[in-house]
Chain A
């Protein structure tokens, strides 16, 4: 059975790195657009009377608490300034989506999103999650890839860095779970789903009545995660199977835990991983 070899994004070129990068950026941009809109909708937390007030966060560093850069910090990260940053990030992501990650705009818009991610990391003491980290890795890789010459070792290094971070990330996540008695017994997923933050009451109640299913689910997650780096060495059908399993895993996390941003951020890396797998093959 012939594998999909063409993507109608970069002309007639079959699954090139350029095509994969466009698709990866599109997926990540969609997720970033949703996340920034969510934060703009729930903006009260970033105001001076919210848990992520800049008035408190600025006390962490000398540069922000006083001195010549403090005023600039206030303008950039204060209640109005940070809203402008989020709007700028949303606009960049929206433009990437509307133009289907046009190669002419890819570098500047990806650089804008990367900048917003970095500034958000500087400003916000709390609230960042794995999806934010993966977005940072992805957009940094894309920007660095696009600033170095075509065919250079540095470009190859960018792609393999991203691949390594994704593979290492999944493996570490799975290994940490395998080392945990709570995960091996299945209690972990029941406990997490019992919380308000990442929980789902109906699934929690159902898994309480079916602990063996919970245990099987935990083992499926652990084995998938530690096996993920095999995507680089398995024959294409099996590598594709791992990626499909990844999509299903993150979709499940979105449905039962509300982690919609993880679905976009991690699945966004898959097109580039696939391009690398095919190139290496």
Chain B
């Protein structure tokens, strides 16, 4: 078999094998295999086909922030990134789709990081990508003057319950408003 054809078949075989491995519970995999397939730099190439299962996403996630003055007085909580109501043409045109998915992914990743780092210093969580993503997003929001620092919160809500996923530390702003 010529080299190109062999390479193509090999790529497809590896991709298929990785897909199967990805759907095996991680606890049943050797550590090295789990690290490469599920947590490696290219693991995003491996498809995940079990959408909404076994635990479907039934929560809404809300990002809130408040500013803190130089005297330490905290302002009111304000929600950011709230999606617009669904339009009638959503089945055909849904530009809010990505933002909605990003919000859910980020909130769930933040919750997982917070759970994994519960025993670690707070600074460890504050250096994770989901925390930094949300912190960067919050610090670019309109400020209530005078704003010396800011704090954010992630709320998980369903029709029957509210849970606080995370209450951030208080982060000083670069320029006080």
CA distance in complex: A134, B51 (Å): 13
Q: For the complex, give the distance between the alpha carbons of A208 and B22 in Å.
A: 35
A261 nearest CB across to chain B (Å)? 7
Chain A residues, Cβ within 8 Å of B8: 144, 147-148, 154, 157-158
Kindly state the separation between the CA atoms of A154 and B106 in the bound complex, as whole angstroms. 39
With A51-B103, A153-B5 in contact, do A133 and B129 touch (Cβ < 8 Å)?
A: no
Question: Given the interface contacts A42-B96, A49-B137, A52-B102, does A144 sit within 8 Å of B56 by beta carbon?
Answer: no
CA distance A252 to B2 in the complex (A): 45
Check: B104 CB closer than 8 A to any chain A CB.
yes
Which one of B31-39, B85-93, B145-153 contacts A?
B85-93
Task: Verify B95–A144 contact, CB threshold 8 A.
Answer: no
List chain A residues, Cβ under 8 A from B116: none
Q: Which of A34, A57, A121, A259 contacts B129 (CB 8 A)?
A: A57
Please indicate which of the listed interface residues B5, B92, B97, B105 has the most CB atoms of chain A within 10 Å of its own CB: B97
**Of residues 81 to 125 in A, which have CB atoms within 8 Å of B's CB atoms?**
121, 125
Asked if B134 contacts A42 (CB within 8 A), the reply is no
CB distance from A137 to the nearest CB of B (A): 6
A271: min CB distance to chain B, Å: 20
Contact check: which of B4, B58, B93 meets A34 at CB < 8 Å?
B93
Hey, which chain A residues are within 8 Å of B96, CB to CB?
A: 42, 258
Q: Mark each residue of chain A from 188 to 223: 1 if its CB lies under 8 Å from any CB of chain B, else 0.
A: 110110111110110000000000000000000000
Q: Do A197 and B104 contact each other (CB < 8 Å), given the known contacts A49-B136, A154-B8? A: yes
Known: A38-B95, A49-B137, A194-B158. A182 touches B55 (CB 8 A): yes
Residue of B nearest to A254 (CB): B91
B132 CB, nearest partner CB in chain A, Å: 5
Which of B9, B60, B132 has the most chain A CB within a 10 Å cutoff? B9
A121 & B100 in contact (Cβ 8 Å cutoff): no
Assuming the contacts A154-B8, A172-B23, asked whether A260 and B55 have C-beta atoms less than 8 A apart, the reply is no
User: Judging by beta carbons under 8 Å apart, are B106 and A51 in contact?
Assistant: yes
In the complex, A183 has a CB within 8 A of chain B: yes
Any B CB within 8 A of the CB of A130: yes
B57 A127 Cβ-Cβ under 8 A:
no
Stretch at the interface among A68-76, A173-181, A235-243: A173-181
Q: Kindly state whether residue B169 has any CB partner on chain A within 8 Å.
A: no
Known contacts A56-B133, A197-B57; 5 further A-B pairs (Cβ under 8 A): A41-B95, A154-B1, A177-B53, A179-B53, A189-B56
Q: Considering only CB atoms and an 8 Å cut-off, how many residues of chain A contact the other chain?
A: 71
- Interface hit among A10-18, A162-170, A272-280: A162-170
Measured between C-beta atoms, what is the minimum distance from A131 to chain B in Å?
Answer: 10
- Expressed in whole angstroms, the Cα–Cα distance for A149 and B4 within the complex equals 9
Judged by a CB distance under 8 angstroms, whether B27 is at the interface is no
- Write out the residue numbers on chain B whose beta carbons fall within 8 Å of the beta carbon of A42: 95-96, 98-99
**Which residues from chain A contact B94 at a C-beta distance below 8 Å?**
38, 258, 260
Cβ-neighbour of B91 out of A154, A173, A260 (below 8 A): A260
CB of A50 closer than 8 Å to a CB of B: yes
Query: For B102, what are the chain A residues with a Cβ–Cβ distance below 8 Å?
Result: 45, 51-52, 126-127
Contact B106 A258 (CB under 8 A): no
In the complex, B121 has a CB within 8 A of chain A:
no
Task: Supply 24 A–B pairs (Cβ within 8 Å), ascending by A.
Answer: A51-B99, A51-B102, A52-B102, A52-B133, A59-B129, A60-B129, A126-B101, A126-B105, A127-B101, A130-B49, A136-B45, A147-B4, A157-B9, A165-B16, A165-B19, A168-B20, A173-B50, A177-B54, A180-B56, A188-B58, A195-B58, A197-B100, A254-B91, A259-B97
